[in-house]
Amino acid sequence: MTPPTSFLSGMTLLNDPRQNRGTAFTTAERRMLGLEGLLPSRVETFFDQKKRIEHQISEKQNDLERYIYLQGLLEKNETLFYSILASDPQRYVPIIYAPTLATVCQQFSQIYRRPHGMYITIEMKGRIAEVLRNWPERDVRTICVTTGGRILGLGDIGANGMGIPIGKLQIYTACGAVPPESLLPIQLDIGTTNAALHEDPFYLGLRRMPPVMEELDEFVEEFMNAVQEVFPSCCVHFEDWKGTDALRYLAKYKDKSLCYNDDIQGTAAVTLAGILTALRISRQPLQEQRILFFGAGASALGCADLLVSAFMNEGLSEEEACSRLVMMDIDGLICKSRTDLLEEQRRYAFDGSSECSLIEVIRKIRPTILIGVSTAGGTFTRQVIEEMCRNTERPIVFPLSIPHAECTAEEAYDWSKGRVLYAAGVQFPAYTTSEGQILRPGQANNFYIFPGLGLAVYAARPRIITNELIIESARALADQTGEAELEQGQLYPSQSMIGQVSFRIAERLASFMFNHDLAQERTPENIVEFIKKASYSFEYSQ
C-alpha cells in the first residue's frame, strides 16, 4: 500500500491543511504515516466528518461565528472546508461572502488569526516582484486584489478589506471548482482615508493617507508588471476599488494584460444575463429596449458599456446603441450641459436639462428597463413602478443596490399587479399574486459569472479577457434558465445548482477562447473532459 500523501508524516501532516484528512486516515495509513496515537481511535468516513462539521456549524449563534469557525476549518482541512461549501452553496455562500462579509470586514483586524493571502504595501514600491516571490505557490492563475477603497457599501476600510479577496476566491473554488492552490488574495495597502482606523489600536494596516493619483498609478503599474514577471499565466481580478480608480485601471490594462474587474464586468454580465432571460419571457428583441440607469458610477458604466456592445452585436451602430441608454445620478440626468461629468459618462450624456426627477425622466424617455445602482434604498416608489408599466406590458426592473434595494420584490410585484420582471442585488422570498400565481424574484449575483469565468481562465489560459467573452458568459448563464423557471418569472437558475451552472459557463467560455484565438493552451479534442480535468476535486485524493 502506498501513502495517500507525499513527504509529510506525523504532526507535520496533520498541520498541513491541503493533505490532512484528520479522522478519515485509515488504521493502515495511521501506522504508515506516523499518526498512531495522534488521533482519536475511531476512523470516520468523509461523510461522517461532514455531518460532524455541519452539526458544529449549526450550534453557532450567528453567521459571524460560523464564518470564523469555517476559516478555522480551512486552516486544518482544506478538502473538508470546500466540500462543505460546495454541498450547499445557497446556505454557505452568504456566510463566507455577502452579506456576512460586511461584518467580517468591519471587524477584520479584531478577528484576524493568520494570513490567507499577501499584503503588498505602498512602502514596498520598487520591490514588489521580490515580495511576490515569497508566496509559496509558483503557478498562480488568479490574483484577486483590492485596495479596500470601496467595500460593500462600507466605504474606505483600508487593509480590513482583505476579507473581500479571500472570500471571493473561496467562491471561485466552492462554486467553480477552481483549484485553490492557483488562487492568491492580495491587499494593496495604500493607507486609508478612514480616520477612525488610524486611531484603532487593533487596525493592521498602514496608518497614513492614500497617495496622490500619480504615485498610486506608478505603484499599480509596478504591481501589474511584477505579477506578469512572477506569475506569467496569472489573471488579475480587480475587486472593490474606488470607482474612479476601478474605471481608470480597467481601461488602462484590459487590452494589454490578462485582467478583469468583477464590480464592473461581472455586474454587467449578470445584469445582461437577467435582461436576456426577461426578454425570453416578454418575447421582445434586445435592440428595441430603452434602458434607464438610476446611478451613474462604475457599476452603471460597466453595465452600459457591455450593453452597448450587445446592442451592436444585434446590428445597431455605436451611436444608436448609446442613445438607448440614459443615466441619472444624485445631481440629476447625465446630460451634455453638465460640466461635472467623468469622461466615461460623456458617452451617455443626454440632450436636455439635468434638473429632472426620476418620474420626469421615466415619462420623458419611456424606458422599458430600469436598473438601480444608486445605493439609495426605497427610491423606486409605487409611482415609479406604475409609470414603468405605462411604457411596456412587462417592464424589467433591477434594483441592484446592496444592502438596501431601490424597491423590494413584494413592492414591485404588488404595484405592477405581477407584471414586472424583477431581479435584485439581494435575495427576496417568493411572492404569491392575488390570483395564486407564484413569482420567484431573481438575485443578480456576480457569483453566477466569475466562478465559471475563473475556471475557464484557469484551464485555457487566455491572453486577455474581451468584451465579447463577457457577453458570451452572460448568454451562457441566460441559456440555463428553463421553461419552468420562466413561467414563475425566475430570471436565473437556482443557486443550489451553481456548481453545474459554473461548469457549463466554463465549457462555453473555454470553447469561445479556443475558437477566437484567445487561449494559450492547445485546443482539446473534448472540451467537457478538458474542463473536468482542470476542476478541483471535493474529495480526498486516492
Query: Given this model, what pLDDT does residue 2 score?
Result: 45
Inter-residue contact 498 to 451 (CB < 8 Å): yes
Determine the residue type at 488.
Answer: Q
Cell numbers representing residue 361 in the block: 425622466
Nearest to 413 by CA among 368, 380, 444, 391: 380
Query: Given this model, what pLDDT does residue 408 score?
Result: 96
Inter-residue contact 451 to 175 (CB < 8 Å): yes
C-alpha distances in Å from residue 478, one per residue of 191, 208, 272, 301: 40, 45, 9, 21
Give tens-digit pLDDT for 351-410: 877 778 899 999 999 999 999 998 888 999 999 999 999 999 999 999 998 878 999 999
State the chain's mean pLDDT as an integer: 94
Cα–Cα distance for residue pair 258/265, rounded to 1 Å: 14
Backbone angles phi, psi at 259, to 5 degrees: -150, 170
- 25-34, 145-154, 157-166, 200-209: which range is least confident on average? 145-154
Query: Given this model, what pLDDT does residue 1 score?
Result: 41
- Model confidence at 7, pLDDT cuts 50, 70, 90, reads confident
Give tens-digit pLDDT for 149-198: 887 778 899 999 999 999 999 999 999 999 999 999 999 999 999 999 99
pLDDT at 145 over 90: yes
Instruction: Report, as residue numbers or ranges, the catalytic residues.
Output: 97, 168
What domains, with CATH codes, occur in the chain?
Answer: 10-79 (1.20.1370.30), 93-257 (3.40.50.10380), 265-446 (3.40.50.720)
DSSP code at position 60: S
451 bridge partner residues: none
- Model confidence at 72, pLDDT cuts 50, 70, 90, reads very high
Query: Given this model, what pLDDT does residue 503 score?
Result: 98
- Select the more confidently predicted residue: 377 or 81: 81
- Select the more confidently predicted residue: 113 or 55: 55
Inter-residue contact 14 to 35 (CB < 8 Å): yes
User: 193 burial class (0-12, 13-18, 19+ CB within 10 angstroms)?
Assistant: middle
Determine the residue type at 209.
Answer: M
Length of the chain: 542
Q: What is the pTM of this model?
A: 0.93
Cα–Cα distance for residue pair 190/498, rounded to 1 Å: 35
Strand 431-432 with 421-424, pairing: unpaired
pLDDT at 343 over 50: yes
Cα–Cα distance for residue pair 79/56, rounded to 1 Å: 17
